[in-house]
Amino acid sequence: MAIEDFDLIEDGHYGSLGPYACVPKEITEQLHKAYLDKLKPIKPKLSKYKPQDHEHVNFTFNLDVDGLVPHSSDEYFAKIDSWGWSSHLASLLCGTKPLRCTFANLFERYGFFRKGLVDSQQFFNFCDSIEQKYQKHRNFYHNGIHGTDVLQTVHVMINSTGLINFLDDLEILAILFAAACHDVEHTGTTNDFHKDTKSVLAQLYNNVSVLENHHLETTWNTLGQKYCNMLNLSGSQLKYFKELVHEMILHTDLAKHFDQVKSINSALAVMTPDTWSEYASDPDKPIPAPFDKKSLLALVLHAADISNAAKPWHLQQLFTMQILQEFFDQGDELKQRNMSLPPLSNRTTTNIPDSQIGFIAYLVKPLYESISNCLSSMAPVIAARAKHGSSYIQGVQTASSILATVNDFDNLWRGNLTYNSNRWGKIKIASNRFARPSVMPKNPKILFKKKSKEQKPEAIIEDDCESEEDQEEDIKFIQKARKSLAMSHPATMSANPENIPSEIAITAYESKETVNSEDSSSP
Ligand SMILES: [Zn+2]
């Protein structure tokens, strides 16, 4: 493996990897041993940033993201449409209130304040309350930064897949709202942990999607608080909005993942272009699940929730180390309780590269492929039913332009998944290489030839797969060859036959034997 594979470490990203310390000790030791002398000294980047009371992450922020070093949140929010946008950087620029800033920026862009769908004063009260609740358990990963990441990712995804043409303001509002709130008051532990430890939440929700139900409950409670009720919706609008949010947040439960993917794939398999044309030509014809808006929005939110692996490497790496830190902390707690550890919970035995390669191959890629296939097939329907009133959509979309958008996005996530998977593979190869025994045998047998008193014994290192009898035979053969060569060249060799290099003696002896045998066989 070449040193350039660690160019991020060299470039200073190493400094942002506080949780990197959670990589198994033997791997970090071997990597450090091999590369530390080649690394340039890294000066910590000074920042005016001062952690606030509720600041919980323990790594050093890195300003240099994708070559962009913004000087203000305004400058960075101008890039909010980017797939490589970093919620960590947003957190730094927004004084640790990334959710509030991102939420407000997007609502402004979609015109929700101007259109009167959202009350701006109550909106900020709601945001602050939600952001505070995200920090309740001071999680490494499931915190306000993750909520912000999913919110921004959802924004990019609905635009990058063309799905936004299919949605009205209420539905866009619903998916942004669901994304921002989808993990609020996360406990930093898994649903299985709650079930196994018979937690209060597990009992409250009868062991069914425990955390997701808690996120929903917390969201509605917050919205119902005085000065936080930001939505200006009619009764029927609010009912539909709540149905959408309910469906989306419950489907962030990873336990539903395979059913979601299977359902969309099976339904796609029986759809034909003619069937889609029927929906395109009749805008009032209801589209059944799983192609209805509720299912599609849930699919997109779930994809955004596990999008880290489809992002540029520096984001994938940082988020991975953070989520593993959370899993390892949970593992430590299970150990203290003398309970068995689920996969990814053991900080000393977890194979990080393998876990990520597997996650990409078996979960992320199939889900993203299903979304690409689904939205490509639906492009004519989306174009026919496009809402052209939204201020955020530029121009009229056609089926072919939507298809081109889906293809562009397909290339983007596919390229990142491949790159990230390969990168984990290279790290795995590097760690395996150092874990392997050296080229020398583990227990080399040192054989001492019997020497005359004045000569020092000559050590011969033999591969330990050779038996002692074979080794004795070899030594006898070498002695025989040396003697033979000394006798045939008495002037030069006979003085000290033991000094004749064994390879020369063997080669000479074997060639002589060959000549002799050829001579004897000749007529
Ligand atoms: Zn999440």
Per-domain residue ranges for the chain?
A: 3-435, 446-521
Name the one residue in this structure whose structure tokens are 């619903």.
Answer: 174
| pLDDT of amino acid 384 | 87
| pLDDT of amino acid 484 | 76
Residues contacting residue 240 through CB under 8 Å, at least 6 positions apart:
170
List the end-to-end C-alpha distance of the chain, in Å, as a whole number: 60
| Helix locations, 378-501, DSSP H | 379-384, 399-435, 468-488
Ligand 1 centroid – CA 162 distance (Å): 23
Cα–Cα distance measured from residue 150 to residue 156, given in angstroms and rounded to the nearest whole number? 10
SS3 460: strand
Q: Tell me how crowded residue 394 is: count the other CB atoms within 10 A of its CB.
A: 7
| pLDDT of amino acid 477 | 73
Ligand 1 centroid – CA 183 distance (Å): 5
Ligand 1 centroid – CA 307 distance (Å): 10
Cα–Cα distance measured from residue 194 to residue 209, given in angstroms and rounded to the nearest whole number? 10
Ligand 1 centroid – CA 257 distance (Å): 13
Cβ atoms of 60 and 46 within 8 Å: the answer is no
| pLDDT of amino acid 64 | 40
| pLDDT of amino acid 364 | 97
Catalytic (active-site) positions = 142
Task: At 431, list the tokens.
Answer: 């760690």
Q: What is the mean pLDDT of each run of 10 residues along the chain (523 residues)?
A: 34 33 44 36 34 28 50 84 90 90 93 92 95 94 97 93 88 96 97 96 97 98 94 95 98 96 95 90 89 96 97 92 93 93 88 92 96 94 73 64 90 94 87 48 38 45 49 72 70 60 62 51 41
The model's pTM is: 0.71
Ligand 1 centroid – CA 177 distance (Å): 13
How far out from the chain centre does Cα 259 lie? 22
Ligand 1 centroid – CA 117 distance (Å): 26
| pLDDT of amino acid 28 | 42
Measured between alpha carbons, how far is residue 438 from residues 38, 351, 431 in Å? 21, 22, 14
Ligand 1 centroid – CA 306 distance (Å): 7
Ligand 1 centroid – CA 507 distance (Å): 70
| pLDDT of amino acid 483 | 78
**Closest C-alpha among 412, 416, 386 to residue 401:** 386
Cα–Cα distance measured from residue 63 to residue 14, given in angstroms and rounded to the nearest whole number? 13
Looking at domain 3-435, what is its CATH homologous superfamily?
3'5'-cyclic nucleotide phosphodiesterase, catalytic domain (1.10.1300.10)
